[in-house]
Amino acid sequence: MTKPTLQQSHGPQYTRILSVGAARGDLSVPNADLIGPIDSSDEWIQQRTGIISRTRAGQDIQAVDLATDAAREAIEKSGIDPKLIDAVIVATISNGRQTPSMAAVLADRVGANPAAAYDVNAACAGYTYAIAQADALIRTGVAHYALVVGAEKLSDLVDPTDRSISFLLGDGAGAVVIGPSDYPGISSTVWGSDGSKADAITMNSTLQEYRRGETEWPTLRQEGQTVFRWAVWDMAKVAKKALEAAGIESDQLAAFIPHQANMRIIDEFAKQLKLPASVVIARDVATTGNTSSASIPLATHRLLQEHPELSGGLALQIGFGAGLVFGAQVVVLP
């Protein structure tokens, strides 16, 4: 009997980001509103983080609502019929429900049913992970167009009295549509994790402990110095590897869009990479705060609003955070 030949799918050679959309929380929360419970000052927060204010969403707004607004903008700007989007990937750590996935709800809301839809939990690296997956799905022919969203409502995970991370966090969503391209628009991704440092950024308790009444509502905590050293020194090496994987020198970049953890990390990052003055550095954290998986697409959206001439240029983006997980790639800005 003749051995059957299995068919495998094949797609376009290249992909690129077609458009970007954004949605920030409806509330602007200045440092002055947060300093009481942490016994601090506006000056202390600005010196440590560069954050002046952060956007947060009201009680009636969920992360999926922010994701929906950002996704609709990205789809409209892409000019792609949402029915042609057959993969929806949402990077998030703040879905209010364990199930269903935020992506499945989002796909229905934007008219992309019956797209494959799933969430990615890779914290602040989630968006870069999702970009890598969307790129691979399209180039292997599994999907034709993909919607990638980073969406967070981190204010739900905040202890107002915690001095380690609470004043950093904001709410928002950023979205991109990815599709086939005539030229390379997304480089190979350099990604990975170091679970041995998992306690550096973590939840302080489990839902099971909360249910048994053994603890308060679980909230985020971090070891600031451990995270700072890891982000600046180890992630600079990852960023350099991403440039090598893309075949790009730093002076060929138009922009550098790191995860918006805090301004000190961003500034040290730029020094480590020895970026020339011609490279525009995203600093959205100053008025948006740290929005985890949403921070890179939100920063990209603002950067293109303020510098439309960057469209078509190369941007190095890198996410890093709880896990400890990291991902970096070079993309052509839409």
Residues belonging to the active site? 124, 259, 290
User: In 3-state terms, what secondary structure has residue 274?
Assistant: coil
Beta strand residue intervals within the chain, DSSP E: 14-24, 27-30, 53-56, 85-91, 116-120, 145-153, 171-181, 190-193, 201-203, 220-222, 255-258, 280-281, 314-321, 325-332
Tell me the C-alpha distance between 90 and 235, whole Å.
Answer: 23
Q: Do β-strands 220-222 and 201-203 pair in parallel, antiparallel, or remain unpaired?
A: antiparallel
Rounded Cα distance, 243 and 233, in Å: 16
* Sequence-ordered alpha helix ranges (H) in 12-164: 42-49, 63-78, 102-109, 126-139
- Separation of alpha carbons 257 and 199, rounded Å: 26
Amino acid (1-letter code) at residue 19: S
